[in-house]
Amino acid sequence: MLYLFHGNSRFLIQKEAQKWKQAFTQKFGAENVTHISSLGDYSLAEIQETLVGRSLFSEKRLVIIDGFPFTTSKTISNGEGVEETILQSLSHVPDEVIIVFTSDSPDKRLSSFKQIQKLAEVKEFTLASESDVLTKLHSEYGNRIDNAALSLLLKLKGGDYQKTNSEIQKLLITIKHIGVGEINTIIIPEFEESIFQFVDAILEKDSQKIFLYLQNLTEFTSIYQLYQSLIANLRVFLYIEHLKHQKIPVQKIGDILKLGNRKFLIQKRHNSDVKSITYLFNELLDFDSHMKRGKLISSDEQDLYKEIEKICIKFLNF
């Protein structure tokens, strides 16, 4: 029997594979479970033997192989015959052997994925949007966390299911019910989410929030990291606008830019136009050029902070 676990949520894929592993171990013993977490650690002969070898002491044997089908053709070229060995071995797998392939975001265009998809029972673990993540978490924790608290926690953790789930589990060790108060008091925002809030304030041209978030961010990160993240996020915004102008479908834009659960950014409305964001982006690039060439008065972090402040003021007045 052949199964394929794939999707964009590595955490959910691994969680399901672990569940199978534990259940199988309890019923047939750990000696009848083989988990290949890295194909690169095995020779082609070992991979083939793992797939086609019979179980001598049990009626069933479980084989879990992570990272196959591959995510890109480049991975295959580095695999030195791994793909061919696996695909050729599948026709010789004994009936008592259960094989589970796990792959987060595999390249569905590759022939290996298409062949496995035809042969296997496919289970997809995909969280396409923030609402999907909220629905999944709500189904797991129900009334143990308020809806508002759950939404806030997810936001503070950058929309990441695994990080949010982990925080809930830790909180529930000492708290019976999680409300917004506990989230505000205990949880520290992810750097990525703080950057997102800062960029969102920029797109909304909210001067009060811009300088508040700018000050908060520099309290726990360097001005250099802040600058690089700001540039990266603005670049994504400009790419989104460019692709929208080319009338590329929303789903395809999300795939091209690998937005994951941030696809909502494509349709998000804001108060800034492309012209003003382009102006800000170019001002930041000039700042970077001056910084690298030593044309700034000082390289002290406080002085660099003031330079970014000035750029934000010029943007608001643009």
- What is the tens place of the pLDDT at every residue in 159-177? 778 888 888 999 999 889 9
144 secondary structure, DSSP code: G
Mean pLDDT within 305-316: 88
- Tell me the CATH architecture of domain 2-124: 3-Layer(aba) Sandwich (3.40)
Q: Decide if 127 contacts 262 (C-beta within 8 A).
A: no
Q: Which residue has the tokens 């020779």?
A: 43
**How sure is the predictor about 109, in pLDDT bands with cuts at 50, 70 and 90?**
confident
At residue 77 the predicted structure's pLDDT band, cuts being 50, 70 and 90, is very low
pTM greater than 0.85 (yes/no): no
pLDDT at 74 over 60: no
Residue 158 backbone dihedrals phi, psi, to 5 degrees? 65, 25
- 6: phi then psi, degrees, rounded to nearest 5: -145, 170
CA 252 to the chain's CA centroid: 17
CATH number for 191-316 (one of 3.10.290.10, 1.20.272.10, 3.40.50.300, 1.20.1630.10): it is 1.20.272.10
Select the more confidently predicted residue: 4 or 270: 4
What mean pLDDT comes out for the span 273-297? 80
Q: Please count the other Cβ atoms lying within 10 Å of the Cβ belonging to residue 271.
A: 10
pLDDT digits (tens, 9 = 90+) for 132-143: 888 889 899 988
Higher pLDDT, 66 or 80: 66
The pLDDT, as a whole number, for residue 72 is 61
pLDDT range class, residue 116, cuts 50, 70, 90: very high
Residue, of 289 and 244, whose pLDDT is higher: 244
∠ Cα 299 221 284 (to 5°) = 55
As a whole number of Å, the CA-based R_g of the chain is 25
Q: What is the mean pLDDT of residues 266-294?
A: 83
Q: Both tokens of residue 310?
A: 């000035």
CB 86 within 8 A of CB 47: yes
Q: At what angle do helices 10-28 and 161-174 cross, to 10 degrees?
A: 60
Average pLDDT, the chain: 84
Q: Is the per-residue pLDDT at 64 higher than 90?
A: yes
Element (H, E) at 221: none
pLDDT at 6 > cutoff 60: yes
For residue 176, give both structure tokens: 């019976």
